[in-house]
Structure 1
């Protein structure tokens, strides 16, 4: 179940939203009426997604909170009835998943939210995240050319990167979400979309020749055809 934080200063709207999401696969972590309240809640627990009203009572608007959420890498959608130039300029500095325009029905709220959320989830599933030498790398799985076993580690190859991952090839393979990977040899995992040529005992991946076991060749040939 995913978690949601609602940031809305109209109690009727916030309660209606909470009731709607409780009927869905979402747990409402809380309702904040201001940016300061939202920040207090965020210190206690990080939600999976937020709904943020742009025009909130108090000194700071929803766009100020959105800037925090961008830094925390917490996705959010705006709730808004404002389309004036100043608001649009403030919004342009942030990165929401989408917008839900007021007034809205609860059905249209859920419809707009679910489309944006599913697009976000779908994209997240193809991002491989790994920490190497203190740096956090986020790599689109479609950009991976192949992985190469190296003792209890493995190399990850893209067109312009070669990273030594502190994980085994088996461990990395199990954490990938995409279905377009194939094991041509026990020490390699290749991206089928990057295969450029197939030999008798080798497979070429973006111009790089890798070993192909005799037992695995018929299956790979069938897949590529």
Structure 2
């Protein structure tokens, strides 16, 4: 983990210093500390961090959630640094995709334990590559980039971040080849990456603008999975 670069975005000097010392004691490279949205974006562009630690309640025009939305766009993972927040803030938080939450106040030992377990799990998942053949081509797709699988007669569509590939195998066959455990069948025709779900309705789920059917019988199970992973 020592080759990974961390950026801290926290406007409390004491807290940011504590985090920096904790990370460096564990051989993590801290590329900088930002105190607001603008400073953070400048450092992100110049240092290219592997992961960010973001205080949700940054002071200024733009808060930590605004920054998180920008990181989601450019696919830089992040943790939230947070104390108790109001329902309106939590509603906005649920529209983003953090790796996890680091709850203030925290001890140095507790902080590192929370970060290291989740970050190592993320790195392990990132390394899982899904290899498929279609129309004479071989595609290698990181499993984290797969949005969902969709049944199409005896074939299956693989929907990723930037591709839609028709595979000459059934949905059952294709999903059995995935190594990751964060996929779920909300309906018999779909197999969805739960990390990409942005909204859960009564009969549908959303992956941003994509709507997928959700069986009423499967809804409680999905809600429990999302809750356990939040």
Matching of residue 138 in structure 1 with residue 141 in structure 2: yes
The structure having more radius of gyration, on CA atoms, is 1
Residue 108 of structure 2 corresponds to 106
Deviations along 1:16-51, one digit per CA (max 9) or x if unpaired, are 111111111310000000011000111112101110
Please list every run of 5 or more consecutive structure 2 residues that lacks an aligned counterpart in the other structure: 132-138, 147-154, 159-173, 178-230
State the secondary structure of the residue aligned to 2:60: coil
Aligned to 2:13, which of 11, 14, 20? Answer: 11
Residue 116 of structure 1 corresponds to 118
Residue 88 of structure 1 corresponds to 90
How many residues are aligned here?
144
Residue 32 of structure 2 corresponds to 30
Aligned to 1:69, which of 68, 71, 79? Answer: 71
Instruction: Give the drift of 1:127.
Output: 3.0
Instruction: Give the drift of 1:83.
Output: 2.7
TM-score, length-scaled by structure 1: 0.58
Please list every run of 5 or more consecutive structure 1 residues that lacks an aligned counterpart in the other structure: 130-135, 144-157, 162-190, 195-225
Map 1:167-206 → 2, pairs under 5 A: none
Give the distance between the partners of 2:142 and 2:9, measured in 1 at CA: 31
Give the distance between the partners of 1:121 and 1:139, measured in 2 at CA: 11
Structure 1 segments (4+ residues) deviating >2 Å? 136-141, 158-161
RMSD: 2.7
TM-score, length-scaled by structure 2: 0.57
Instruction: Give the drift of 1:123.
Output: 0.4
Residue 168 of structure 1 corresponds to none
- Greater displacement, 113-122 / 96-105: 113-122
